[in-house]
């Protein structure tokens, strides 16, 4: 009995003829000869021999690599363990001499510039700058609407007497443009 959703292999006008052709095709398919080789029983000794041979080759390869590694380790233990692939050659360059001469010229110029800079002395007079600043403070005090106070004037007198008596200038470069309080804090 045919299945309801049966799809024929070859389209035909007669259902009976179509089913007959399909059944013949199926019987032909089922009747094809199949070669059954049971490898487990017939050729087992050959497969076993091949496996043993492959395993021996594999162990021999591992043994050979182990021997090579042992030889390298024993060589390192016998010697100091230096590198054996040193390259004894000079790098060749077409412009090597020219670069060396240029480097010598630049180093000489740098040394000359350094010697000139080290021999140079500052021509700024910090003492005169400080005296000008004190005069400016006095002018600011005279112009100010309210007096600045006696404590600041006493500190200014102490500082000016310190600079007159000492032979060194102790004003740092950070006090170039600062107020009187900042100046006093830098010195005191």
pLDDT, tens digit, for every residue of 69-126?
999 999 888 887 666 677 777 777 888 899 999 999 999 999 999 999 989 887 888 8
How confident is the model at residue 171, as a pLDDT? 45
Q: Find out whether 19 and 11 touch, Cβ atoms under 8 Å.
A: no
DSSP letter for each residue of 56-94: HHHHHHHHHHHHHHHHHHHHHHHS----S-----PPP-T
pLDDT at 187 over 90: no
Q: Find out whether 139 and 133 touch, Cβ atoms under 8 Å.
A: no
pLDDT, tens digit, for every residue of 42-69?
567 778 888 999 999 999 999 999 999 9
Domain boundaries along the sequence of the chain: 39-75, 126-187
Closest CA relative to residue 24, chosen from 3, 8, 46: 8
pLDDT, tens digit, for every residue of 117-172?
989 887 888 889 999 999 999 998 888 877 776 555 566 566 666 555 554 444 44
Closest CA relative to residue 130, chosen from 162, 90, 154: 162
Q: Find out whether 137 and 180 touch, Cβ atoms under 8 Å.
A: yes
């Amino acid at each position: 009995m045919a299945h309801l959703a049966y799809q024929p292999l070859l389209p035909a006008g007669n259902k009976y003829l179509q089913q007959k052709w399909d059944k013949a095709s199926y019987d032909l398919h089922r009747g094809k000869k199949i070669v059954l080789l049971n490898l487990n029983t017939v050729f087992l000794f050959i497969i076993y021999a091949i496996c043993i041979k492959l395993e021996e080759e594999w162990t021999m390869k591992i043994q050979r690599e182990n021997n090579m590694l042992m030889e390298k380790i024993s060589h390192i233990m016998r010697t100091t363990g230096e590198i054996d692939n040193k390259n004894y050659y000079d790098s060749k360059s077409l412009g090597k001499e020219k670069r060396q001469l240029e480097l010598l010229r630049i180093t000489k110029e740098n040394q000359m510039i350094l010697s000139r800079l080290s021999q140079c002395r500052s021509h700024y007079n910090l003492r005169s700058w400080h005296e000008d600043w004190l005069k400016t403070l006095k002018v600011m005090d005279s112009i100010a609407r309210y007096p600045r106070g006696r404590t600041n004037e006493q500190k200014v007198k102490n500082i000016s007497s310190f600079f007159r008596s000492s032979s060194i200038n102790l004003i740092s470069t950070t006090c170039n443009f600062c107020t009187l309080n900042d100046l006093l804090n830098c010195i005191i």
